[in-house]
């Protein structure tokens, strides 16, 4: 019998839970999945549920819970060093999109007005710690599911080995595939950003999609219908799609054709081919890699932030204006080395703003691309 491969999943939230259960039903070979959380009951319950899914699907997968609070400073290196996993999946951060669906407050208003990019320090801190820990397991592929479109470029700029991200572009591809009834993902090539989970200011700033290498002009209308669905449903689509990526990296076959967010630190999401542990873009005819990356970089501004090739983040001017109403000395730019300090300051800011009522809603601002980009 083949020796089992190992996967570490960091986090037990909604995305991690759906991803783990989906992997339980599709793993191609013997696998041990280590479910890691600071809350042992959540890790134990998710592992038990995923084990049931694996048995019912007749898959040779075993799930083991671990109590380890990486966000709180716990060291992930001993676990990685002991098991040498094929893949480390980061699904844990100090910000959840679910906050925007909860009770309105000055904090939710700030994120809505400034853009999702304001959360980068809260999204990136745990990912930075986790990716740094793979020095104990050099063969481990790091896959980040926490706002990868912006966080992965930060990690890459820090010299950390992040291979790709999950969700976002795959969610949008899933909506298109569902409406067109396309079972073969290789027929689609979609260029998209996390920001496109929301309707863009104008249709010409929406995703670009190709079906059998021909422009898919119906993409905007399809997504407008899909975006009206509950956000939890969209989250689930991205997580289920992610299970195929994790399986391809854990049990490599000839190749895997699909879509991932932020491959090798590029901003946004792309169509890719995964062969072994390498991820290559599969762009439509006439579109160069530079053009694809530049387009995703321009779309990044819709989230209120861009990250350059050195991993330095730049708040869009309008986003910075909103931030400085509550955080007067908020930096306009920051690098990977600044994440820990900004994360601490944002946690304090969030706690304060959560106690304040949301002001009267204002129209969402439209951001222009900074001239420096």
Q: What's the pLDDT tens digit per position in 6-61?
A: 999 999 999 999 999 999 999 999 999 999 999 999 999 999 999 999 999 999 99
Q: For the chain, what's the residue count?
A: 373
Could you read off the pLDDT of 133-144 as tens digits, one per residue? 999 999 999 999
- Mean pLDDT (the chain) is 93
Whether 368 has a pLDDT exceeding 80, the answer reads no
Topology classification of domain 169-302: L-2-Hydroxyisocaproate Dehydrogenase; Chain A, domain 2 (3.90.110)
Q: Where are the domains of the chain?
A: 5-165, 169-302
Nearest of 228, 207, 222, 330 to residue 270 by alpha carbon: 207
Contact 167, 15 (CB under 8 A): yes
pLDDT digits (tens, 9 = 90+) for 313-355: 999 999 999 999 999 999 999 999 999 999 999 999 999 999 9
Span 5-165: which CATH code?
3.40.50.720
* pLDDT tens sequence across 84-103: 999 999 999 998 877 777 78
pLDDT band of 366, cuts 50, 70, 90: very low
Ordered alpha helix ranges (H), the chain: 14-24, 40-56, 77-83, 106-114, 120-133, 148-157, 169-180, 219-226, 231-250, 289-300, 317-323, 339-353
pLDDT at 233 over 50: yes
| pTM attached to this predicted model | 0.93
State the Cα–Cα distance between residues 89 and 78, nearest whole angstrom: 16
């Amino acid at each position: 019998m083949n020796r089992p491969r190992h996967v570490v999943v960091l986090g037990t939230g909604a995305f991690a839970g759906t991803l783990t259960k989906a992997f339980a039903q599709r793993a191609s070979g013997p696998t041990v999945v280590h479910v890691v959380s600071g809350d042992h009951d959540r890790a134990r319950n998710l592992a038990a549920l995923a084990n049931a899914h694996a048995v019912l699907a007749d898959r040779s997968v075993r799930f083991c819970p671990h109590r380890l609070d990486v966000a709180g400073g716990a060291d992930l290196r001993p676990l990685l060093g002991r098991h040498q996993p094929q893949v480390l999946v980061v699904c844990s951060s100090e910000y959840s999109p679910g906050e925007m669906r909860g009770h309105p407050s000055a904090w939710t208003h700030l994120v809505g007005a400034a853009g999702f990019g304001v959360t980068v320090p809260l999204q990136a801190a745990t990912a930075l710690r986790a990716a740094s820990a793979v020095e104990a397991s050099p063969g481990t592929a790091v896959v980040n599911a926490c706002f990868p479109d912006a966080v992965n470029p930060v990690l890459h700029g820090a010299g950390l080995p992040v291979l790709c991200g999950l969700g976002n572009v795959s969610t949008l591809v899933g909506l298109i595939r569902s409406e067109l009834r396309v079972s073969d993902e290789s027929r689609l090539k979609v260029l998209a950003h996390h920001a496109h989970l929301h309707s863009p200011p104008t249709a010409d700033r929406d995703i670009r999609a190709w079906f059998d290498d021909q422009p898919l002009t119906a993409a905007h209308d399809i997504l407008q219908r899909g975006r009206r669905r509950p956000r939890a449903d969209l989250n689930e689509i991205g997580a289920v799609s992610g299970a195929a990526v994790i399986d391809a990296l854990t049990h490599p076959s000839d190749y895997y054709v699909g879509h991932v967010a932020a491959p090798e630190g590029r901003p946004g999401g792309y169509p890719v081919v995964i062969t072994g542990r390498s991820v290559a873009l599969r762009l439509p005819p006439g579109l160069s890699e530079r053009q694809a990356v530049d387009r995703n970089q321009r779309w990044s501004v819709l989230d209120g932030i861009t990250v350059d090739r050195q991993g330095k983040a730049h708040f869009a001017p309008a986003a910075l204006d909103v931030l400085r109403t509550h955080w007067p000395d908020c930096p306009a730019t920051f690098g990977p080395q600044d994440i820990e300090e900004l994360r601490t300051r944002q946690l304090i800011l969030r706690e304060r703003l959560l106690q304040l009522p949301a002001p009267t809603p204002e129209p969402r601002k439209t951001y222009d691309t900074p001239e420096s980009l």
